[in-house]
Amino acid sequence: MCFRQYSIRGLITSTTLIIITLFVTNVQGDGSVEEGRKKARACQVCHGEGGKSKNPTYPRLAGQHAKYIIKQLKAFKSGTRKDPIMNGMAATLSLDDMEDVAAFFQSNGSDNIAER
């Protein structure tokens, strides 16, 4: 009985640590929020301050997953996703730039999507 309780406690502790690690890794990502804040100035002209667009023409980027933002920026840069403005914006971005910008927008949360 004592061994069984210890195993369950160990399993719960291990599972909790794994979940926390995955959460922190997912939130943190590879980019720098501070560098992204600087690099995302041009993005905010259309996508709103902090990515909180109130214009339905431009997607709201605040709180979006960094990996998704990076995927879309890569598609715009390669031309597999077409938009005359975004293709030009993404053309000059390095992978580090994309990661930084994505980290910045992800960090802004999605606090009030209904606000649109």
Q: Is 51 left (phi over 0), alpha (psi -120 to 50) or beta?
A: left
For residue 112, give the 3-state DSSP assignment. Answer: coil
Query: What pLDDT score does 64 carry?
Result: 95
Query: Is the pLDDT reported for residue 21 higher than 70?
Result: no
* Residues 69-105: tens digit of each pLDDT: 999 999 999 999 999 999 999 999 999 999 999 999 9
**Dihedral sign of CA atoms 14, 16, 18, 24 in order:** negative
pLDDT confidence band for 55 (50 / 70 / 90): very high
Whole-structure pTM value: 0.71
pLDDT confidence band for 109 (50 / 70 / 90): confident
CATH topology of domain 31-110: Cytochrome Bc1 Complex; Chain D, domain 2 (1.10.760)
Query: What pLDDT score does 53 carry?
Result: 95
Going from N- to C-terminal start, the domains of the chain cover 1-29, 31-110
The half-sphere exposure of 5 on its side-chain side, counting CA atoms within 13 A, is: 2
Buried b (16+ CB within 10 A) or exposed e, 89-115: bbeebeeebbbbbbbbbbbbeeeeeee
